[in-house]
Amino acid sequence: MTLTLSELLFYYVAVMLAGLAFVGLYSEFRRRRFEPPRSDDNVFRCSGCAYVYTDDPNVERSRCPHCSAMNSKFNF
């Protein structure tokens, strides 16, 4: 079996790209497995004291734990 230079170069590049794709997929799966799950809580920013806090996902308005002001959820 004889390989030309262009075939040898093609196989070399193909193997390196496949290895790079494997490393990328492997690291993405590891990141997802060890990363904490995303919270569904709403983010609130107090209009009185500027304190940022979270509350349950089913709450539209929440009372600030620092100054007790009622606040609407904060949209990014």
What pLDDT does residue 23 have? 98
Give dist(CA 61, CA 22) in Å, integer: 46
Give the pTM.
Answer: 0.52
| One domain, residues 29 and 48 | no
**Three-state SS at 47:** coil
Residue pLDDT, tens place only, 13-25? 999 999 999 999 9
Q: Which domain holds residue 68?
A: 42-72
Listed residue (74, 73, 52) closest to 61, CA to CA = 73
- Work out how many domains the chain is built from and give that number: 2
Give dist(CA 47, CA 12) in Å, integer: 61
| One domain, residues 22 and 46 | no
Give dist(CA 63, CA 48) in Å, integer: 11
Residue pLDDT, tens place only, 25-62? 999 999 988 888 888 889 999 988 999 999 988 888 99
Q: With 90 as the cut, is the pLDDT of residue 73 above it? A: no
| One domain, residues 29 and 10 | yes
